[in-house]
Amino acid sequence: MRVLGIETSCDETGIAVYDEEQGLLSHALYSQVKLHADYGGVVPELASRDHVRKIVPLIREALAKADTRIEDLDGIAYTKGPGLIGALLVGACVGRSLAFAWNKPAVGVHHMEGHLLAPMLEEDAPEFPFVALLVSGGHSMLVKVEGIGRYEVLGESIDDAAGEAFDKTAKLMGLDYPGGPRLAKLAAKGEMAGYKFPRPMTDRPGLDFSFSGLKTYAANTIAAEPDDEQTRANIARAFEEAVVDTMVIKCRRALEQTGFKRLVIAGGVSANTRLRSSLAELMQSRGGKVFYPRGEFCTDNGAMIAYAGLQRLKAGEREPLAVKGQPRWPLDTLEAIS
């Protein structure tokens, strides 16, 4: 089976072709970072318009790179949700319309399931079951995964997600959008200079996350300290270590609760090197292993949607002709695949 994947949930247009036997044949990605940089964040209407401009040329590019004709495709997968409704509808309308015109089956994919399964694109792919830490600009959650669609959300953000906290704190420091990666780069220059940020919600039972208070603590620290490069780097490091330590503590609890020996991290924040190294140390100490996708598949991309869509199409799932986007869509409501 060969599937065309379309991702348009937020500010990146991702297209890919995935073959069940040959693996990933091509992927094309257009990022809207420059478009939104002047506004300090994603402007939904501008994002939707840019998806309209880029989606068809990228589909042509991905098909050409994969040396794939229309008749070679066995289905089309597109991100149905969660995400920005306008952006979702661009991908859904194009994907469902092409499927109808080309007489191919279509399936709407859950964006976070795409992230969760992104490590399956690698040669060293994890086997089920495992605990998944999904961390991005809009989501932070721990999931017990026993198979595709067999998900139990163990904990999630009750306010700001980790990526959102990174971006907002970076903005407080005067860093350009997107702030998360820039803050991490600044933190690499930081020193342990007496700053001790709280590890939110780790002094109580449970696996939920809360980063809004940590962001406020960072804001107060920034306002009270000198505005020089080294001081900002030191604060950035203290903030990053607080976020990473919090996630490591929660992951340890989730692994103890489930008894699993495998941990998957995915989503944009999973590219953070301090987080990766800390979780690798955690799993080594527990005799387990951590898995994550390569950097280009940590952020939103069409490859993860094509892979997840292929699994759903193989299981017989089909999207009706009515085009629908789901800006809110709980992960644990998905159908299990045997």
Q: Name the residue range of residue 313's domain.
A: 2-117+297-333
Q: pLDDT digit string (tens) for 79-113?
A: 999 999 999 999 999 999 999 999 999 999 999 99
Residues 68 and 109 grouped into a single domain:
yes
For residue 138, the model assigns a pLDDT of 85
Percent residues over pLDDT 90 in the chain: 96
Q: What is the number of structural domains in the chain?
A: 2
- CA dihedral sign of residues 251, 192, 40, 200: positive
For residue 22, the model assigns a pLDDT of 98
For residue 106, being part of any structural domain is answered with yes
Q: pLDDT digit string (tens) for 122-157?
A: 999 999 999 999 998 888 999 999 999 999 999 999
The two three-digit tokens of residue 81, written as one number: 């949700």
Residue 138 is labelled as binding a ligand: yes
Q: What's the pTM? A: 0.96
Residue 115 is labelled as binding a ligand: yes
For residue 150, being part of any structural domain is answered with yes
Residues 80 and 175 grouped into a single domain:
no
Residues 135 and 97 grouped into a single domain:
no
CATH number for position 168: 3.30.420.40
Stretch 23-27: mean pLDDT: 98
For residue 193, the model assigns a pLDDT of 79
Contact by Cβ (8 Å): 143, 128: no
Residues 190 and 273 grouped into a single domain:
yes
Residues 258 and 184 grouped into a single domain:
yes
Residues 74 and 186 grouped into a single domain:
no
Residues 12 and 140 grouped into a single domain:
no
Q: How far apart are CA 144 and CA 58, in angstroms?
A: 35
Stretch 20-38: mean pLDDT: 96
Residues 163 and 266 grouped into a single domain:
yes
Q: pLDDT digit string (tens) for 113-129?
A: 999 999 999 999 999 99
At 68 the three-state DSSP class reads: coil
Q: How far apart are CA 261 and CA 61, in angstroms?
A: 40
Residues 315 and 191 grouped into a single domain:
no
Q: How far apart are CA 198 and CA 153, in angstroms?
A: 25
For residue 149, being part of any structural domain is answered with yes
For residue 207, being part of any structural domain is answered with yes
For residue 192, the model assigns a pLDDT of 83
At 73 the three-state DSSP class reads: coil
Q: pLDDT digit string (tens) for 232-245?
A: 999 999 999 999 99
Residue 114 is labelled as binding a ligand: no
For residue 210, being part of any structural domain is answered with yes
Q: How far apart are CA 184 and CA 272, in angstroms?
A: 7
Mean pLDDT of the chain: 96
Residue 3 is labelled as binding a ligand: no
Residues 21 and 138 grouped into a single domain:
no
For residue 77, being part of any structural domain is answered with yes
Residue 111 is labelled as binding a ligand: yes
For residue 104, being part of any structural domain is answered with yes
For residue 338, the model assigns a pLDDT of 77
Name 333's Cβ contacts closer than 8 Å, sequence gap at least 6: none
For residue 194, the model assigns a pLDDT of 83
Residue 134 is labelled as binding a ligand: yes
Residue 167, Cβ neighbours under 10 Å: how many? 24
Residue 56 is labelled as binding a ligand: no
Compute the C-alpha angle 102/61/306, nearest 5°.
Answer: 60
Q: How far apart are CA 232 and CA 326, in angstroms?
A: 39
Residues 111 and 188 grouped into a single domain:
no
Compute the C-alpha angle 50/33/208, nearest 5°.
Answer: 105
Q: pLDDT digit string (tens) for 179-231?
A: 999 999 999 999 987 899 999 999 999 999 999 999 999 999 999 999 999 99
Q: How far apart are CA 64 and CA 59, in angstroms?
A: 9
Q: pLDDT digit string (tens) for 260-277?
A: 999 999 999 999 999 999
Helix or strand (DSSP H, E) at 252: helix 229-258
Alpha carbon dihedral 298, 303, 305, 311, in 10-degree steps, equals -120
For residue 122, being part of any structural domain is answered with no
Residues 43 and 151 grouped into a single domain:
no
Q: Based on C-alpha coordinates, what's the Rg of the chain?
A: 20
